[in-house]
Each structure stands twice: as structure tokens, then as C-alpha cells.
Structure 1
Amino acid sequence: MLMSLIETLRGFVNVYEGYNSFPEIFLPISTLLGEVVRQDNIPGALQDNIRDVYDWNMECSSFVKGRDYDPDRERSEKKKLHKQIKSEAKGAAHELRKDNQFLFEVKERVRRLIEEERTEKYGKARAFLQEQEHAFKSGQLGKGKKRRR
């Protein structure tokens, strides 16, 4: 029965070892397994299985997120540099987006100003033409004769 329990625990450890909360979830079980491992009256094969699950559980419980456990220093350094490059690239992309947004706003402001000037100029020209048309129709302009209605 104890062997079945140990195998079930091994399955749970396999399933949940990837979660960040793994150490907190299995801390009470690890404590109990530690007590059972210290018992002398347990058969050798069963004690080896218990010790195996306990050691594996303790290794996973002492896992620190962000730390690189790779024994190959060169590969570890390469991963670290690759991660730093990705981080810098994301930062640069963010800065470019901010710069683009700023440039867009400046161009939009200039475009609006030009549009307002054009509208004002168009309005003045139209007002002048309407004034001329009114003067012509009222007889102020022409061959010197007043128009009669």
C-alpha cells in the first residue's frame, strides 16, 4: 500500500513540478516523506523509492525562478545574452513606436494648420468674389449705367 502511495506521489510530482506554486503545494508532503525516509524498519526497495521521490521533491522545491541550472557555462551564457538581446529589442521597438506616435502627432498638427490656412484663404477669396458679384448685380460695377429692375 505504501508503494502504491509513493507511485501516486511520483505521478503528482511529475504533473505539478512545472507550476510556480509547486514548492508550497508539496511542502507538507515533503516533510512527511522526510520523516518516513529516516525510519529504519522500511524494506530497502521501498525506502529507495521513497528517498527518490523525496530527493526529487526537494530538488524541485528549492527551484528558483530565473536562475539557470545548466551545467554548461557557455550555453548558459549564450541563453543569458539571447534573453538580453530580446529584451533590448523589445525596448527598442517600444521606443520606435513612441517616436512614430510623436512624429505622427506633429505631422497631423502641421496638416491641420495648413488645412485651416487653406480654408481661411478659400473663405476670403469666396467672400471677395461674392462681394464682386453683388456689386456687379447691384449696378456698382459695369458700364457706368445703373441697372434697373
Structure 2
Amino acid sequence: MGAQTNEPLLANRLYADGHSYPDFLFGEKHAWLLIGYSITGSTAVEIQAFYDKYVMEERLRVPLTVKQYFGSKWYVFSGVEYDFLLTSMENLDAIQQNITKPQIKPRLDYLGGVGYDVQKDFMLDVKVNQQINDSKLHYFGQKTNTGRNSLLTIGGRYKF
């Protein structure tokens, strides 16, 4: 009989990262978490969580993506993202006045983009979010959401 090799599926393939900023002026808080699983040497599945508490609202975004590297630094990614409104000042004002406001359902987006790992602790990416459900939850920075919106984001991350 041939020898079997039992490669550990989690120990070598599972990875995690994250950070949290200290409390800002007016009690703002921001945190990020990433959990990933390498399917192959160049393909991974990642789930992230972005928690943001601003002065006027509190939100949680949860993207689930597949990431494919081309070469050692360039990659493309695609997936879905849920955006939840946890609290808002508008809702808090209504609660104080004993008014029941309807809960805004989470926004569901398709997302896709391209990224580049400049060095081990520095990455840049460009992504597009396209809303695919009929939620009225606006993107952060918008005043309203009247339909199926889209968003272009240029971002980066530097770990020090």
C-alpha cells in the first residue's frame, strides 16, 4: 500500500489579520477583521468585517470575496458585501419621541476589483460596489439611496 500524507488543512492555509483604532473625538470607533483560507497557492477565500461608529451612525460591513493572484503581487477579487446600519441618530431621536421607525434592511452589493501588494505590509486596490437589492441604506457619505447605486473606491492599507 502506498503511504498517505495528511497535509494539515487549517494550520498552513488559514490566516487572520485585523486592527482597531483608539477612540476618536466624539466617541468614534473603527475596527477591521480579516479571516482567509488559501485554496491554492494563488487563490483564497476571505471574509472581512468593518465596524465603524461615527457621530451620526454605527455600521457593519461584511464582504465575502474570492481573491486570485496573477504573479506575486497583482490580484483580482470578486464577491458580495452586506452593509448593516446598526444605529443612527435619526432612529435614536425617534426612540426618544416614542416613534417607531421601520428598520432599514441591509444593503447587498456585488463587488469586484484589482489590487497590488506593494510590499509585505502595504497594499493598494481599486474596487467597484454595485447594489443588487432594493435596500434604502445609503453608502457612507451619501444623503439618500433612491435606487441601485454603485460606488468606486480607491484604497490602501499600511501596517506599521
TM score, norm. by length of structure 2 = 0.19
Which structure shows the bigger proportion of residues in helix conformation? 1
Which structure shows the bigger proportion of residues in strand conformation? 2
Instruction: Give the number of the structure with larger relative contact order, counting CA–CA contacts within 8 Å between residues 6 or more apart.
Output: 1
